[in-house]
Amino acid sequence: MPRNFYTRPTLVVAKDLLGKFIIRKWRGQNIVGKIVETEAYIGPRDKASHAYSERDAHSSLAYKGKITSRNKAEYLVGGHIYIYLVYGMYWQFNISTSFEGRPECVLIRALEPVDKEETGFCCASRARCHSEGVSPKNLKEILRSAQDDMRKRLFIPNGPGKLCNYLKVDKSFYGEDLTKSKKVRLEDSGEKIKKSDIISAKRIGIDYAQEWASKLWRFYIKDNLFVSKR
DNA sequence: GTACAGATTGAG
DNA sequence: TCAATCTGTACT
């Protein structure tokens, strides 16, 4: 995706990211996932944002926010990777949005695994149904068994920490430019997600953020099986 | 230097 | 419901 995709308003980007492919080049192969769940963080007034600061939130310079060694990638022009560790063990993959100097970003919360076929991309779940000769009706059962198989390796990218494991990304991707990187990029899948298939909900794990905790800034594709559990 | 909470997760 | 696990940040 080009720069001007990422520099639009953060809530627009967060919704528009649904259905896009993340393509990670790793050891000569492509690891691909379709984005199915996102969350917007709009600092520094947003108390859930890492750019929030009590001191700056109400000043006329409130767009500035605090800058630390952890959150400085949030301030880069849209299209850069902001990645950090939570709870001492899980990486969180974010994409900066808006202009340089504006600490706004989108957290990627879940992907649907995608296989790259000779004919192009297709969804792994569908490919597996096809190869095993089962109807999509039995998809849930298949996914459950696949999940059992892979649980130990956290390979199912249905959560923000798990998708980093799936994509093989870590702190070394901090500040990477998605429009230029040779290791990871975003691509339009050609799939247009209908407005009625985009669900808005409260963001997860930020109950401390007071009035900002109730903002409906989490977006996911309706009925998609890879949306993180709640 | 030290204390402490956290944009999660899977097990029980 | 709970604990694993460790870094960034604030504060002494």
**What is the pLDDT at residue A96?**
98
What single letter denotes the amino acid at residue A179? T
User: Could you give the percent of chain A with pLDDT greater than 90?
Assistant: 70
Spatial separation of the C-alpha atoms in residues A85 and A60, rounded to whole Å:
31
> Residue A209's pLDDT is what?
93
Q: Give residue A85's pLDDT band: very low, low, confident or very high (50, 70, 90).
A: very high
3-state percent helix, strand, coil for chain A, nearest multiple of 5: 30, 30, 45
Distance CA A8, CA A98 (A): 6
Nearest in space to A168 (alpha carbons), one of A147, A179, A153: A153
β-bridge mates for residue A35, sequence order = A111
**Protein CA A144 to sugar C1' B10 (Å):** 15
Note the CA–C1' distance, A60 to C12, in angstroms.
32
pLDDT at residue A142 tops 60: no
Is residue A125 predicted with pLDDT exceeding 70? no
Give the protein-side footprint of strand C (Cβ within 7 Å).
Answer: A 50, 53, 66, 68-71, 84-85, 87-89
**Spatial contact of A95 and A105, defined as CB atoms under 8 Å apart:** yes
Q: Please tell me which residue lies nearest to nucleotide C6, judged from CA to C1'.
A: A88
Q: Note the CA–C1' distance, A112 to C10, in angstroms.
A: 39
Whole-number pLDDT of residue A129 = 42
Q: Point out the residue nearest to B10 (C-alpha to C1').
A: A151
pLDDT, chain A, mean: 85
Lowest mean pLDDT among A13-17, A105-109, A139-143, A204-208: A139-143
- Cβ–Cβ contacts within 10 Å for residue A107, how many? 20
Mean pLDDT, rounded, for A131-138: 46
- Amino acid code (one letter) for A210: Q
**Distance from C-alpha of A174 to C-alpha of A10, rounded to nearest angstrom:** 20
Amino acid at A69: S
Q: What is the pLDDT of residues A39-50, one digit of tens each?
A: 999 988 899 999
What is the per-residue DSSP string for A139-194? HHHHHHHHHHHHGGGT----SHHHHHHHHT--GGGTT-BTTT-SSEEEE--SPPPP
How many residues would you count in chain A? 230
* Covered bases, chain B (protein CB within 7 Å): 5-11
